[in-house]
Structure formats: C-alpha cells, structure tokens
Structure 1
Amino acid sequence: MANHKRSLKSKIKSLFIKLLIGLVVVCALILWMSSWTYSEGTRAGQLIKLSEKGVVFKTFEGELNLGGLRTGNTNDGLEGNLWQFSVLDESVISDLIKAEGKRVKLGYKERYKAMPWQGETNYFITNVVVIEP
C-alpha cells in the first residue's frame, strides 16, 4: 500500500511538472509572437489625436486622418478615413505631441498581436516626420 501511495504521488508530481513546463512554453511563444514584426511602412496624413488611455495598463494611442472618406462598417453612410495606432517609445511620444494638428509622415511596424500593456492596436509608431507645407 505504501508503494501505491508513492507511485501516485510520483505520477501527480510528474504531471504537475509537465503542465508547468507546457505553460512556460506557451507563455514564451505568446510573448515572442507579440514582438514579431508582421509588416512595416509609412503612412501620411494629419495627426488629429494623441491620448493616454487605459484602466490597468496606460498606453499612448493616436489617430491619423489619411484624407478622403470611406463607407462605414454599418449602414451609417460615409466616415473619415482614420488610422489608429499605438506608441511605445517616449521620444516618439514627445515628437507626436509637438506635431499634433500638423501633416505628418509616420513610420510604423505592425505586430502580429499586441499585448494589453503595449497598446490597443497592432500598429506601433517608430518615427515622426512633419511635412512642411
């Protein structure tokens, strides 16, 4: 009977270790995917919004008016052609604050999936260039 108890304890311990290792591997894969750059490029338009948002995780989010109109997702008609983005870098945030309301060209990287502490979108701004009229 004592051998049976040890065997059961050993099996439970082995199962727990396997589950723990599996959980660590899954978490590592999710974190790796959140840092993987899916695409990168630039977009130009008028910077109309930059704000710090969030209840638990405070992130900087912005909107760029790309110009023109597009049909909405619902039957409400036309809406502005707005592009939403997130910002991680403090120096980029200060550049965006200075450029708010101006025409800008924003360099960005699109991540496969953003974690909640990174931002609300998958688009992260890497640099800001003010377009002079």
Structure 2
Amino acid sequence: MRKFISWTLLILLLIGGGMVYWKYYFVFGEGVKSGVLNYAVKKGNLFKTYEGKLIQEGFGSNKTGTGLTSNQFEFSVENDSIYRILEVNSGKVFDLHYKEYKGVLPWRGNTRYIVDQIIQMRDLKSGSF
C-alpha cells in the first residue's frame, strides 16, 4: 500500500509540474509586432515590472458591436536594457520581437506577451501611421 501511495504521489507531482511548465514557461508563440510606442512604464504593487503599449496601424474591433478601436499591443519587458531604450523613445516606430505564454507570472509582467528584442526603431514619418 505504501508503494502505491508513493507512486501515485510521484505521478501527480510530475503531472502537476508539467501543467505548471506548460501554463507559465512554455513559449506558446512568438512573432514581431510593429507600431508607434505609446508608453513604457515601470509599475506594480509588489513586483515592479516593465510594461508598454504599441499603437498599430489600422483599426479593429475587440468585440462585435463595439465600434472601431485602434489596434493596441500591450506587452511586458523583462530586460532592463530593452526597457531603457523604450523609455526614452516614446513616439517612435518600433518592430518588437515577443514571446507569448499561456499564463501570466506576477514577477514577469502583467501580460502574456514578453518583448525580448528590439528588431528596428525609426522615427515616425509624416504620412505613415
């Protein structure tokens, strides 16, 4: 009986660990988003994290019947050096590489999207965006 309980606990522990990994550490998707940087801030109650928002070209709708809204990409940043570049370049056009996770960890940021690289940064030219 003791052996059965030990094996059952081990299996449950492995399944639980796998579920935690899949939810919070497995990279579900990655890609590049482009847009004008609206803001980059450091905020949080217990864990201070770096957050930002890109305004993307075009219009979209979050839900049916709500009308038109701007396309916004809200993201978190783990790396201090990336945040410092974003912090002083608000209003410029960025191409940001991000990783998407299925869950949010409070010390990683407020969003499922974590920017890990700046691909390109350029000034906003008249006529675009």
Under a length normalisation based on structure 2, what TM-score does the superposition of the two structures give?
Answer: 0.75
CA distance in 2, matches of 1:63, 1:111: 17
Correspondence for 1:49: 39
Cα root mean square deviation, aligned: 2.6
Choose the corresponding residue for 2:103, options 104, 108, 113.
113
Q: Which has the larger radius of gyration?
A: 1
Q: Which runs of 5+ in 1 are unaligned?
A: 1-10
TM-score, length of structure 1 as denominator length: 0.73
Q: Residue type of the partner of 1:104?
A: F
Q: Can you list the C-alpha shifts for 1:81-125, whole angstroms capped at 9, x where unaligned?
A: 111111111111112113211011101111122212211211110
| C-alpha distance in structure 2 between counterparts of 1:27 and 1:117, whole Å | 21
Conserved? CA contact 2:56–2:73, under 8 Å = yes
1:28 shift after superposition: 3.3
More helix by share: 1
Query: Are 1:29 and 2:18 an aligned pair?
Result: yes
**1:54-79 CA distance string (max 9 Å, x none):** 21222111110012222243744221
The residue type paired with residue 63 of structure 2 is: N
